[in-house]
Structure 1
Amino acid sequence: MAAVVLVHGLYHRPEHFALVAERLRSAGTEVVIPQLHRGSLPADTTAVQAVIDSLPEPPIVLGHSYGGSVITGLRGAGYLVYLAAFVPDVGESAAGLGGASPQLQDAITPEPDGSTSLHPDRATDTLYSDCPEPLAAWAVGLLRAQAPGCGRGIPERHSWKHTPATYVVCAQDRAIDPVLQRKMASRCTDVREWQTGHSPFVGQPELIADLLQELLAANTPRQPDEGVTTSR
């Protein structure tokens, strides 16, 4: 069975996908969650590419938010999932496509070293408004500062033009306009729409785990039944 690679967005960490990973691993699926925050889109893409290159089979790769720009630049994925994510075309960046909503922009706080962070209360309302309060507090506590410029990075290749992809529109999203999401979703081969906020991996991880298991089953070659001889 192919592995699943989960790619987080800006300000987030691999730990934000813990609830999804737990469900997938309990079902026997290998899950890899690379650490981004390498300083630029090319550096983040290189880090994820190294993970894909290390796997024995082309994995299903999910990118959330800015993670969509990262997975767009990859080679060797078997299937792509864009979760409320950016799907850049030639010459486009996440920022150029529309970037953060005004509400998310209002949550961004500059730091003395040039990085930015998210105001905790505003982050809760923008990213995790539909999540149970304890989980939202857990997720906000994991957020980290973000180096500048990643959202303006332009992918060097465009994997969605060569690899089947599902786009998941999060219809109650306050961080990336759902209207923009639907526009970008038209670039993918399959579109789903969930009535969730920006971060269903926190509030409704079962939705993501079920989707990925569905895609794994649909994209795994069937083996002949034991004891049945196939004709030639």
Structure 2
Amino acid sequence: MTAVVLVHGLYHRPEHFTLVARCLRSKGIEVVVPELHRGSLTADTAAVQAAVDGLRQPPLVLGHSYGGSVITGVRGARHLVYLAAFVLDAGESAAAWGGSSRQFQDAVVQEPDGSTSLRPERAAGPLYGDCPEPLAAWAVGLLRAQAPGCGRGVPEYHSWQRTPSTYVVCALDRAVAPDVQRTMASRCTEVREWRTGHSPFVGRPELIVGLVRELLPDARVAPPGGAPA
């Protein structure tokens, strides 16, 4: 069975991939969406590695935003997809790369316990600004607090140096600067550019499904439809 592992970014949950995962599963594709928020990049990477190791064949592994830092450290993927994501080299961290917009920074709230969260009224613009309002509201409602330090984590392994990879630049991104994405994309085997915001898995899930169909030619996939239940 063809398999796909979808890796979310900071503040997000596996449920943010609902539209994409629903369609892929309906076509007989095994989809695993690990929960991150394990407290560090090392722990998040271990969670995704366990998901990859539990599959019967090497999967396509897609990482969104911070999820790119995570999949960089994972071994055993068939193909890597970096979606507006961080492609880190030796000694690098997502925090050191930066690239977050002022609009996104203004949405961040420092919590008393050292974690951060996003103001709901300010998060929709940078994360889901190109999505229909009902979908954006649904996605904002799923956001959760983020433990400190994950973005400063440095991968111990660099899978993109050995595994075929595709980078998707989100050209209308208002969370991570597209020019920063393009610089990191140069490390990947190939580069695509979509006229979307930061989170096409919410507003344009058919683009991701189509990319999976192209990169996994043995997978017969149809575009998803409808809003999440």
- Bin of the TM-score, shorter chain as denominator length: over 0.9
Q: In the alignment, what sits opposite 1:198?
A: 198
Q: In the alignment, what sits opposite 1:67?
A: 67
The amino acid across from 2:113 in the alignment is D
Structure 1 contact 103–175 (Cα < 8 Å) conserved: yes
> Distance in 2 between the 1:99 and 1:157 partners?
23
The amino acid across from 2:95 in the alignment is A
> Distance in 1 between the 2:110 and 2:25 partners?
37
Q: In the alignment, what sits opposite 1:169?
A: 169
Q: In the alignment, what sits opposite 1:77?
A: 77
In the TM superposition, what whole-angstrom CA distance separates every residue of 1:4-57 from its partner, at most 9, and x where no partner exists? Answer: 000000000000000000111122111000000000000000000001111110
> Distance in 1 between the 2:49 and 2:185 partners?
23
Structure 1 contact 99–151 (Cα < 8 Å) conserved: no
Residue 28 in structure 1 maps to residue 19 in structure 2: no
Q: In the alignment, what sits opposite 1:16?
A: 16
TM-score relative to the length of structure 2: 0.94
Structure 2 contact 2–218 (Cα < 8 Å) conserved: no
The amino acid across from 2:160 in the alignment is W
* Identity %, equivalent residues: 74
The amino acid across from 1:27 in the alignment is K
Q: In the alignment, what sits opposite 1:160?
A: 160
Q: Aligned residues, how many?
A: 220
Q: In the alignment, what sits opposite 1:223?
A: none
The amino acid across from 1:168 in the alignment is V
- Which structure 2 residue ranges, 5 or more long, are not aligned? 220-229
CA apart distance, 1:218 = 6.7
Q: In the alignment, what sits opposite 1:3?
A: 3
Structure 1 contact 13–144 (Cα < 8 Å) conserved: yes
Q: In the alignment, what sits opposite 2:47?
A: 47
CA apart distance, 1:212 = 0.8
> Distance in 2 between the 1:55 and 1:19 partners?
22
> Distance in 1 between the 2:99 and 2:47 partners?
23
The amino acid across from 1:120 in the alignment is P
Give SS of 2:51's match. helix
CA apart distance, 1:102 = 2.1
Structure 1 contact 130–197 (Cα < 8 Å) conserved: yes
CA apart distance, 1:155 = 0.3
Q: 1:48 to 1:183 in 2, by over 3 A?
A: same
Structure 2 contact 69–87 (Cα < 8 Å) conserved: yes
Give SS of 2:148's match. coil
CA apart distance, 1:99 = 4.4
> Distance in 1 between the 2:99 and 2:118 partners?
15
CA apart distance, 1:100 = 2.2
> Distance in 2 between the 1:199 and 1:190 partners?
20
The amino acid across from 1:195 in the alignment is R
Q: In the alignment, what sits opposite 2:184?
A: 184
Give SS of 1:56's match. coil
Describe how 1:107-186 pairs up with structure 2 within 5 A: 107-186=107-186
Ranges of 4+ aligned residues in structure 1 off by more than 4 Å: none
Q: In the alignment, what sits opposite 1:100?
A: 100
> Distance in 1 between the 2:101 and 2:150 partners?
16
Give SS of 1:217's match. coil
- Which structure 1 residue ranges, 5 or more long, are not aligned? 220-232
